[in-house]
């Protein structure tokens, strides 16, 4: 597609439930990133995929968080046993070079 697509745009879930967030990067972009923005905070790096290399998971805040990228394209971020502190906007970005990333509109996750 023309841009980075994320779904759902909004998600409200009960504490303790699992959620899956989806990202469709720009076709041909080999790099894919997940960030999150909590209230009043900057963009926090979560995980990075580059081609077929092992992902850089150094930003994942706990083992409840995991991500996959299938076929070098679509990525899914999974949060297990959600907690209230997981409430944030989760942003996906893709890039073809180092000049800049293209971000999706994000998924606003609210854990109640």
Partner 1 sequence: DQQVKQNSPSLSVQEGRISILNCDYTNSMFDYFLWYKKYPAEGPTFLISISSIKDKNEDGRFTVFLNKSAKHLSLHIVPSQPGDSAVYFCAAKKGGADGLTFGKGTHLIIQP
C-beta closer to partner 1: residue 76 or 102: 102
Binding residues for partner 1 restricted to 20-59, rule: CB under 8 A: 31, 33, 35, 40-45, 48, 50, 56, 59
Q: Which two tokens mark 27?
A: 């076709």
Could you say which DSSP state residue 53 is in? S
Nearest to 13 by CA among 53, 70, 49, 64: 64
Pairing mode, strands 31-37 and 65-69: unpaired
Structure tokens at 6: 């994320």
Task: Report the nearest approach of partner 1 to the CB of residue 103 (Å).
Answer: 3
Specify the 3-state DSSP secondary structure of 66: strand
| Residues of this chain, 53-112, that bind partner 1 according to CB under 8 A | 56, 59, 91, 93, 95, 98-106
- Residues at the contact surface with partner 1, assessed by CB under 8 A: 4, 31, 33, 35, 40-45, 48, 50, 56, 59, 91, 93, 95, 98-106
């Amino acid at each position: 597609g023309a841009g980075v697509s994320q779904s759902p745009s909004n998600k409200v879930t009960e504490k303790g439930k699992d959620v899956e967030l989806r990202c469709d990067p720009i076709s041909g972009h080999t790099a894919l990133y997940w960030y999150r923005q909590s209230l009043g905070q900057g963009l926090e790096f979560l995980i990075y995929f580059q081609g077929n290399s092992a992902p850089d998971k150094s930003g994942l805040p706990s083992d409840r968080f995991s991500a996959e990228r299938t076929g070098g394209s679509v990525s899914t971020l999974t949060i297990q046993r959600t907690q209230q502190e997981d409430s944030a906007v989760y942003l996906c970005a893709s890039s073809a070079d180092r000049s800049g990333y293209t971000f999706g509109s994000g998924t606003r996750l609210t854990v109640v």
